Chains A and B, each alone.
Chain A
Amino acid sequence: MTMFNLTTDQRVDKALANNFLRQATRRATDRLRNNKYKASDELGNWEEWRNAGETIRKHVIANLDFYLHQLIEQMEQRGVHVHLAKTPADAVGIVRNIVREHDAKNVLKSKSMISEEIHLNHALEEDGAAVVETDLGEYIIQIAGEPPSHIIVPAMHKTRQQVADLFEPIAGHALSSDTPTLTRFARIQMREQFLRGDIGITGCNFAVANTGSIVMVTNEGNGRMVSTLPRVQITLMGMERIVPSFRELDIMLNLLARSATGQRLSSYTTILTPPKKSADSDGPEEYHLVILDHNRSEILGDKLFRTALNCIRCGACFNVCPVYRQLGGHAYGSVYSGPIGSVITPLLEKDWKKWGHLPYFSSLCGACTEGCPVRIPLHDLLVKLRMRKTQSGHTPQVEQQIFKAYRYLFTREKTLRRALRLGAHLQRPFVRNHRITGGPPPLSNWTKSRTLPMVAPKPFMQIWADLNNKR
């Protein structure tokens, strides 16, 4: 995972220098975004759907203890093993133990962002298990050894040729890079894997509290294979991923599929109410549900950031974000990228040194907030994160001094006039053709790629005062 070893600046440079990545990201996000507009317009009253989505999510989060309890009770009554993991390490430990207990050699996975969050694959491989990602995008980045670059489209950044190059060593012969050839190859690989799987690991888009059901949304059907063929199944879920009942699920599935890919419903919506009953012809006999906290409880108790838990991981904010559009996901350095990743990563990981750059990966244009199907005020949350970082003393000294000076001058209009007069004088060495073309940092950050207008010889406040004195 080379991306993780670079500094933020290096990652940004690398992303900006990668024209293919940037073109691919632009194309893919445009397509997803436009599909979403079509699918949401078609409902005729999208804003009401958003209101409903927001209401449901807020209600669940406000009553999360109740619904978690209900979900766990439902699950345990039927013989599902429910595990509560406080930290990513706990979650990894739980899964590791299950894999060891069954002496499982082949672990199949369908797409799970939680497994990325806890860095599960690496740990299982260390134990000697073969871990196979069965979502095509995840399969590609697993072979490449890279983190996902988009929560919905993890291999968005790969060309067909790059995919063919990744597949060739496995195929043992040359592969043409056309899509049918590549998908056929992956499908054949998957088929063999599905039949060999000892344990299936899946994610969870929603858990229905009052029935104890797990809902998975996929487009390749792999989630269905992973959850029917192996004898043992583990489902990983974030503790906030709950809906009260099937009534709310209906609304949330509409919001999710339409916002994520512009589909009315994804190709496969799998609803499991485990474990396998005696009359069922397939399905896992042993079922484990791992519920991850990883500081979500703390976010829940934090008035400023609670709404971040309302997210349904649709990726709509990625597809409208002008920063993500330029960079793709890897430049963020985090498992969750895009606007929502910039919000939740610092909250989940609680490490300003490592993740303090993320709240600044936004021009605060508000497109994310506008695009969110459950109305999370994402750009406001980014500002609040900057505030929290500032208040806990994690911003640079120079920056703190600049804002002290700002506060002094910008509360004293007359003094500012004198300062501006001084500025008009000091700018002279940097002026070419009536524009400022250079200067000391942080001004130079601007002038490297742009010119700046000159400070006016007289500020407006002075001009106005002079005009009125003359009269």
Chain B
Amino acid sequence: MKVSLFATCLTNAFYPEVDLTMAKILKHLGHTVDVPEGQVCCGQIAFNSGYVDDAREVARTLINSFERSEVVVGPSGSCIAMIHHYYPTLFENEPVYLKKAEDLIHKSYEFTQFVVDVLKKPDLGAHYKAKATYHPSCHATRLLGIGEAPLKLLQHVNGLELLPLPEAQLCCGFGGTFSVKMPKISEAMVAEKAEHVLASGADILLGLDMGCLMNISGYLEKINKPVKTMHIIQLLGEGMKS
């Protein structure tokens, strides 16, 4: 299969290794990988802040860049949820782009969803000895309905002990611009999330959205707690090296 990567704006700028590892894993599974030029961002940050016109132009750029792709895969439940959940509203008055948006919706997947549900490859032969816990990101869970896929991938990682995260359903307090617009509320939320992560007894916190992980890791670091945070892709990538 020819898979086009959606390198989200966050991973592109801050965590390029996540995108790179995603490419490696997909290649390892025997697929051709390309990264269409011109792609930047799903537009969510503007959309969720109420700047719909600005969001629409960013979304249009993304749609254009993937127009000729067969399948689009991104390392973020939130960005894919933006496409699936809000693009139809964003282009409701533009029939041409509405059609293109629907096209993109039908061929785009979050990484774990793609590997487990489409490729049916929950076992990547990874080995990683650690105690970890998993934070189910809100948009992946509630908007995309991703439940089992990431867990299936993790259950197949040899040596990985997966510990339950108390109150896992609680938002970490990131919320995109929420974290800087309502910083004190956001801090209170991430403080509680950190409390639960520490209570889980895990050495590594895993997730499938770097936004949430950037938030939680940023707080854990500030309070000097040595829990490591990793995208599932990073853990799989490391685990597949050995």
Contact = CB atoms under 8 A, between A and B. Distances in A.
A420 B20 CA distance: 18
A4 B219 CA distance: 32
A459 B192 contact: no
Contacts of B57: 407, 411
Nearest to A449: B187
Contacts of A1: none
B87 interface: no
B190 A450 contact: yes
Contacts of A360: 178, 181-182
A450 B185 contact: no
A386 B139 CA distance: 19
Given A383-B50, A406-B58, A413-B38, A322 B170 contact: yes
B61 A463 contact: no
How large, as a class, is the contact surface on chain B? 35 or more
A446 B222 contact: no
Interface string B205-227: 00000000011001101100000
A386 B175 CA distance: 14
A36 B215 CA distance: 30
B52 interface: yes
Interface stretch (B8-16, B116-124, B146-154): B8-16
A22 B215 CA distance: 22
B180 interface: yes
Given A407-B46, A451-B218, A464-B35, A366 B138 contact: yes
Contacts of B219: 449-450
Contacts of B176: 364
Which DSSP category, helix, strand, loop or mixed, fits chain A's interface? helix
B237 interface: no
Given A407-B54, A460-B12, A369 B49 contact: no
B54 A362 contact: no
Interface residues of A, number: 63
A8 B70 CA distance: 48
A455 B13 contact: yes
A256 B61 CA distance: 45
Contacts of B47: 383
A365 B175 contact: yes
Nearest to A452: B218
Contacts of B15: 453, 456
B126 to A, nearest CB: 22
Interface string B173-194: 1111011111111111110100
A183 to B, nearest CB: 31
Given A322-B170, A420-B13, A459-B13, A403 B51 contact: yes
Which DSSP category, helix, strand, loop or mixed, fits chain B's interface? helix
B189 A326 contact: yes
A451 B139 CA distance: 23
A395 interface: yes
Nearest to B54: A407
A366 B54 contact: no
Contacts of A410: 9, 40-41, 43, 58, 61
Interface in A389-434: 389-391, 395, 399-400, 403-404, 406-407, 409-413, 416, 420, 423
Most-contacted residue by chain A among B37, B57, B185 (CB, 10 A): B185
A179 B46 CA distance: 50
Nearest to A388: B50
B106 interface: no
Contacts of A22: 188
A327 B186 CA distance: 11
Given A361-B185, A404-B54, A453-B14, A366 B142 contact: yes
A387 B46 CA distance: 10
B98 interface: no
A461 B61 CA distance: 15
Complex A-B, nearest 10 residue pairs according to Cβ-Cβ distance, in ascending order: A363-B175, A386-B50, A450-B218, A365-B171, A390-B50, A460-B16, A365-B138, A366-B142, A445-B183, A407-B54
Interface of B: 7, 9, 11-16, 19-20, 23, 35, 37-41, 43, 45-52, 54, 57-58, 60-61, 138-139, 142-143, 169-171, 173-176, 178-190, 192, 214-215, 218-219, 221-222
Given A12-B185, A446-B180, 6 more contacts: A327-B188, A446-B179, A449-B183, A451-B222, A452-B214, A456-B15
8 contacts: A363-B186, A411-B40, A413-B61, A445-B181, A446-B183, A454-B14, A455-B13, A461-B39
